[in-house]
């Protein structure tokens, strides 16, 4: 049966969906008080066009898309042919309220309506802050789309949402949601947040699961070369996962207090390299054929986004003034994780510190003018990547070295991360810069207020050499090149601090 160009598969009927034709429109009946249902159809011949039909029980008269992302007003730009119907098939009038919402005329709370629309996955024609990896795109092997880009919703608090898929026979569906049928075409989504803050992959991708207790890390691999190397990716991911669990003292937690059960890591083959976290899920562009130095960056992107499940998702922050910590400290532990997983050696770490971080830090147009705490305001951190990601990393190294030095390596930045995880992960508590300062002061038996005022809330250049001296390292910055040189005759404490820098103690 074809509904206004929307072909429905037989499993929709098996899910108690009854289609009644009338004058070119159709109605879907479902039990009273049943959850909202969405049905998505993917086509191999027109992969950029996703056809969606939804049955919605109205909380109000407003239809809307996600307000998350740096440019949420763009989501409706890719919605076409949106129509709404009552159960008897009569079409309802819609009008735009603003750039992200529509109003349905002459409806009431509790009324069931049907909406139909197409999403054109053509988002790459515009530049998106943070990159297309967290938005929606089509590749030869299929479609990757965030829930933000696909779903029109109603109301603010809805649970137990059903999502059904129709796809070509040789395609697979990958989502972080729970499948409720053997064919993996019907899924139950806990709430609207998980509906919007997720990724859907439809195509010929491969999927591999890594499990730790109730935590499942689902790797979705798109592209022939990526898929051929899946054992390599899985082995590396296992090592990185174990490092992070041992470091933090547990698995990632969500804000409701529960442990995350399913996390999707989507790795798409690309000439570009980028990464994005949406909700509890990760989207990566990796180039498996890149030069060795670029391969290191690929692994760095994965491990960085992965650690955000702890530093950013389990430990959550008040505002963008802490982005230096969320991004910079994540960079620090990413390097440690890669070293412990034997994906990089010490020389590679030095190269990344110089070529990736120091160069972008020292050449950031905001250095000396904008404080790192202010550099991420208004989703502007991509314009001041050096200050936020590089400056935050160097500040984190300095704080770690000072804590270790003052306590003869009995305490470190690790303890600060463990404290925040233990005390705040899975709660509504949000961390601010004052919380970071207070805990660092307690661990180091000193006062970092001057440090924070100068290098986080102020515009001074982070004095890396002063603090790496505690580990017996000379940090030369001649000619805007960061070179780390081991001093001769290191003390036992200096050697311990350098091993701590590498994540070995």
Domain boundaries, given as residue ranges, for the chain:
2-204, 207-247+263-307, 315-501
134: Cβ–Cβ under 8 A, 6 or more apart, which residues?
69, 128, 146, 276, 277, 278, 283
Which tens digit of pLDDT belongs to each residue from 351-408?
A: 999 999 999 999 999 999 999 999 998 656 778 999 999 999 999 999 999 999 999 9
> What CATH number has the domain spanning 315-501?
1.10.390.10
Average pLDDT over residues 70-98: 93
| Average pLDDT of the residues of the chain | 90
User: Residue 229 above 90 pLDDT?
Assistant: no
pLDDT at 295 (0 to 100): 76
**Other residues' Cβ atoms within 10 Å of the Cβ of residue 345:** 12
Label residue 9 by pLDDT band (50, 70, 90): very low
Domain 207-247+263-307 belongs to what architecture?
A: 2-Layer Sandwich (3.30)
Angle 335-301-362 (CA atoms, 0-180°, nearest 5)?
A: 70
- Of 2.60.40.3650, 2.40.170.20, 3.40.50.300, 1.10.540.10, which CATH number belongs to 2-204? 2.60.40.3650
User: Cα(124)–Cα(40) distance, rounded to whole angstroms?
Assistant: 21
> Are the C-beta atoms of residues 209 and 217 closer than 8 Å to each other?
yes
pLDDT at 34 (0 to 100): 62
> Are the C-beta atoms of residues 357 and 331 closer than 8 Å to each other?
yes
CA 185 remoteness from chain centre = 24
376: Cβ–Cβ under 8 A, 6 or more apart, which residues?
320, 321, 323, 324, 327, 384, 388
Label residue 258 by pLDDT band (50, 70, 90): low
pLDDT at 29 (0 to 100): 45
User: Cα(134)–Cα(283) distance, rounded to whole angstroms?
Assistant: 6
pLDDT at 380 (0 to 100): 65
Calculate the alpha carbon distances from 407 to 99, 441, 481, 497 in Å: 55, 12, 31, 11
Which tens digit of pLDDT belongs to each residue from 276-294?
A: 888 889 899 988 888 877 7
291 vs 217 pLDDT, higher one: 217
Which tens digit of pLDDT belongs to each residue from 131-173?
A: 899 999 999 999 999 999 999 999 988 999 999 999 999 999 9
> Are the C-beta atoms of residues 66 and 75 closer than 8 Å to each other?
yes
Q: Which of 336, 366, 354, 372 is nearest to 451 (CA)?
A: 372
């Amino acid at each position: 049966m074809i509904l206004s160009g929307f072909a429905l598969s037989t499993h929709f009927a098996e899910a108690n969906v009854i289609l009644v034709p009338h004058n070119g429109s159709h109605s879907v009946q479902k039990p009273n008080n049943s959850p909202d249902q969405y049905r998505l159809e993917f086509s191999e011949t027109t992969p950029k066009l996703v056809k969606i039909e939804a049955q919605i029980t109205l909380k109000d008269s407003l239809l809307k898309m996600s307000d998350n992302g740096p440019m949420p007003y763009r989501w409706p730009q890719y919605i076409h042919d949106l129509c709404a119907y009552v159960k008897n098939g009569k079409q309802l009038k819609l009008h735009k309220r603003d750039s992200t919402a529509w109003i349905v005329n002459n409806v009431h709370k509790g009324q069931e309506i049907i909406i139909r629309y197409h999403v054109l996955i053509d988002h790459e024609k515009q530049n998106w802050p943070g990159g297309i990896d967290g938005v929606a795109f089509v590749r030869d092997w299929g479609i990757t789309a965030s829930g933000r880009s696909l779903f029109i919703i109603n109301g603010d608090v809805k649970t137990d949402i059903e999502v059904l898929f129709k796809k070509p026979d040789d395609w697979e569906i990958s989502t972080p949601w729970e499948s409720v049928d053997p064919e993996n075409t019907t899924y139950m989504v806990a709430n609207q947040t998980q509906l919007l803050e997720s990724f859907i992959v439809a195509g010929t991708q491969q999927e591999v699961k890594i499990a730790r207790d109730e935590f499942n890390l689902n790797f979705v691999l798109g592209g022939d070369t990526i898929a051929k190397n899946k054992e390599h990716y899985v082995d590396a991911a296992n090592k990185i996962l174990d490092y992070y669990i041992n470091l933090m003292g547990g698995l990632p937690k969500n804000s409701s207090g529960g442990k995350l059960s399913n996390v999707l890591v989507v790795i798409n083959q690309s000439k570009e390299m980028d990464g994005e976290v949406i909700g509890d899920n990760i989207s990566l562009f990796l180039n498996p054929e890149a030069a060795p130095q670029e391969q290191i960056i690929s692994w760095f992107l994965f491990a960085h986004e992965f650690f955000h499940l702890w530093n950013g998702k389990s430990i959550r922050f008040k505002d963008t003034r802490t982005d230096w910590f969320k991004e910079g400290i994540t960079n620090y532990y990413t390097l440690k994780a890669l070293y412990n997983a034997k994906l990089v050696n010490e020389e590679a770490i030095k190269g990344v510190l110089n070529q990736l971080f120091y160069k972008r830090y020292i050449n950031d147009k905001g250095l000396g003018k904008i404080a790192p705490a202010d550099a991420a305001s208004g989703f502007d951190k991509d314009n001041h990547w050096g200050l936020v990601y590089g400056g935050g990393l160097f500040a984190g190294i300095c704080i770690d070295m000072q804590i270790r030095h003052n306590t003869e390596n009995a305490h470190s930045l690790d303890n600060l991360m463990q404290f925040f995880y233990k005390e705040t992960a899975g709660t509504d508590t949000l961390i601010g810069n004052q919380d970071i300062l207070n805990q660092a002061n307690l661990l180091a038996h000193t006062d970092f207020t001057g440090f924070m005022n100068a290098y986080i809330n102020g515009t001074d250049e982070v004095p890396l050499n002063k603090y790496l001296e505690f580990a017996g390292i000379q940090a030369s910055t001649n000619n805007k090149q960061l070179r780390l040189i081991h001093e001769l005759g290191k003390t036992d404490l200096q050697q311990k601090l350098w091993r701590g820098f590498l994540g070995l103690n």
